[in-house]
Amino acid sequence: MKKLFFVCLCLLSCCSAYAESIVYEIEDTQKNIELIEDKIFTKIGLMIEDNAVGCGNSNYSALNSTVLNLGKIYIDLTALNREHDLLSLITNEENISSAISIVNTHKKYIYKVATMSNEIIVKRLQEITDNETTQLLLEARDIFNRTIKLTQE
């Protein structure tokens, strides 16, 4: 019985350290998302003021879809963070494996969304006509790549 308790204690402390690490990574990624979203919204606002929006404007379209995808990733990372918080509260061994499975399923989903968003940016970069939009898309691509790495673990 003592041996089982020790094993559970070691497992919980190991999971706790991992959870703290991923929580930090998630929060840091979310801060970066907020920063790039602000920059993109500012650029979109300037485009609107200059009447440079519409279906034919590839810069506007690329920034608009990118900021929507960043928002989606932000929300999903928030949910993943909460799932990690809840996971740390579970003590029943049977429920732990089920909860880990739920977290891993959500991570796979976020991975797919980030991968798809990254692929869209790579395609959109070929259509872009100004340096500022290109830079914003490259910064967003870096965030999607970071999210992909974060959800692969």
Dump pLDDT digits (tens) for 58-113: 899 999 999 999 999 999 999 999 998 888 888 888 888 889 999 999 999 999 99
Q: Residue 120: what pLDDT? A: 95
Tell me which DSSP letter residue 130 carries: S
Percent of the chain, pLDDT > 90?
61
For residues 20, 26, 29, 33, the Cα torsion angle rounded to the nearest 10 degrees is -150
| pLDDT at residue 21 in the model | 80
Residue 4 has pLDDT above 50, yes or no: no
Q: What percent of the chain has pLDDT over 70?
A: 83
CATH fold of the domain at 22-152? Four Helix Bundle (Hemerythrin (Met), subunit A) (1.20.120)
Q: What is the pLDDT of residue 9?
A: 41
Write down the pLDDT at residue 11: 46
Report the distance separating Cα 133 and Cα 33, nearest Å.
Answer: 16
- Long-range pairs for 114-121: beta carbons < 8 A, 24 or more residues apart: 114/73, 114/144, 114/145, 114/147, 114/148, 114/151, 115/144, 115/148, 117/66, 117/69, 117/70, 117/72, 117/73, 117/144, 118/144, 118/145, 118/148, 120/65, 120/66, 120/69, 121/62, 121/66
pTM here is: 0.82
pLDDT at 18 over 60: no
pLDDT, greater one: 97 or 142: 142
